[in-house]
Amino acid sequence: MDFRTRDATAWAEAVARGEVQASELLQGALDRVAEVNPRLNAVVLIQEEVARKSLSALPRGPFRGVPFLLKDLGCEAVDFPSFNGSRLWGLTRYSGDSAIYARIKEMGVVTFGRTTSPEGGIGAATEAVVYGGPTRNPWDLGRTSGGSSGGAGAAVAAGIVPFAHGSDGGGSVRIPASSCGLFGFKPTRARLPDGPFSGEGWAGMSIDGFLTWSVRDTARALDACMGPDLGAPYVAPPLARSHADAISRPPRRLRVGVVDTTFTGAAIHPGVAEQVRKAASLAESLGHHVEVHQVRADVAMMMRAWTDIVAVGTALSIRGGLQGRPLEGLVEGVGRGALAHAETLSPLRYLEAVGQIHAFGRQMAAEFAGIDLLMSATLAEPPAKVGRFNHDTEDYVAYRTGPEGIFAYSPFCAIFNASGQPAASVPLGMVDGLPVGIHVAAPYGQDEELIAFCAELEAAAPWFGRKPGI
């Protein structure tokens, strides 16, 4: 069974009509894993018995009976142990379910395993040693499927499941969405719950999400899962209407600022830049006002602050897992480098960096004084070749901010994790036979307007029939 013939909403409707049984869909997903996963290395820790047992009492949620996978990073669940992308902790079992997984379960999905992630969730590729090799892109096995939700992106694009869980701390849903030709949406900060196993991820920059074929699947999943969990340190502004209601009608005519370079004015791959201009023309043809925009926010400051915050978070995690054991053989090079970098920082630097991220958020809010949406590429070039962003190097800072580093390859996504604003990667473009996403961001809290615009783009330039050959 190839789950690329319908989106998750349509599969759920088929189950509800009795056209197909949930058990048949689960078996189809398991068969598809056997067929394509040896080439992709995207699905791990399959819990078939747990999945089959769940079939007898599925909640009557919006995706009842649809096969589903959790990212192997966070999303703690009693029934789904995790490596969290690393050899450091071994196979971790949890004493309870995270709030996000409890809500995912109530959607009625049939969860049967996890998808690969890079160690620590750092990077734009998924090549963790714990999984025995890199995760590959269904469009081209020599290319990365992205990171850190790279396994999720590959699994959906290859038709193993119709949609999957991901998370995004610097583009980790949107980068795989761009790389694999999928829709990826990062909600406003704190729109989804983050507890009880953690209060926040990376000073509030990380949030869960989904990799989907359709905007409506993301809308329905967000509606089912949004809202703070008990004791959340902060909450997102309430929506005026649900995501599903927002996409049921076109948005108002919007002012769209377009950037066909990086936000600092550097050139990007010419084919990708051309796809941005085509997307802008599409928006203009739909009646939106489109204009060239120049970003004035201090992106360099944000990059330094983001790099230091993630280093400290990584160091804290590694120290907690080592329990006095040596780093070698347990932690990959980038993780060792992040720990070393964190130890060079002043004790005051973490709060200084958080303050700079907050200041940057105010700068980005000001960027929207004359526009409603900001459009750019998602990545500065098509999907990178496997190995380019593996974790062998211990030069963590260069890995992130060097001329060939992650920020040069992905200069758009992390900006909106820092600002907390909603942002999406829309699979409108193709360059040299590879998918490239168009990135669209909105003011803080304006998730409904953003997702409605994405749905309008989808209706005007459908991408569902465009699938990799694997």
Q: Known catalytic residues?
A: 71, 148, 172
Closest to 451 measured CA to CA, from 418, 419, 425: 425
Residue with token string 């703070």 = 228
Alpha-carbon gap, residue 126 to 136, rounded angstroms? 8
Bridge partner residues of 289 (DSSP): 255
Per-residue burial over 384-416, b = 16 or more CB atoms within 10 Å of its CB, e = otherwise: bebeebbbebbebbebbbeeebbbbbbbbbbbb
CA 37/CA 22 separation, integer angstroms: 21
22 within 8 A of 55, measured Cβ to Cβ: yes
Exposure on the CB side of residue 434, measured as CA atoms within 13 A: 21
- Are residues 408 and 402 in contact, defined by beta-carbon separation less than 8 angstroms? yes
d(CA 187, CA 207): 8
Distance, CA of 324 to CA of 308 (rounded, Å): 24
Burial 128-141 (b: 16+ CB within 10 A, else e): bbbbeebbbbbbbe
The rounded Cα 117 to chain-centroid distance in angstroms is 11
Residues near 193 by beta carbon (within 8 Å), at least 6 away in sequence: 98, 99, 100, 103, 225, 227, 228, 229, 232
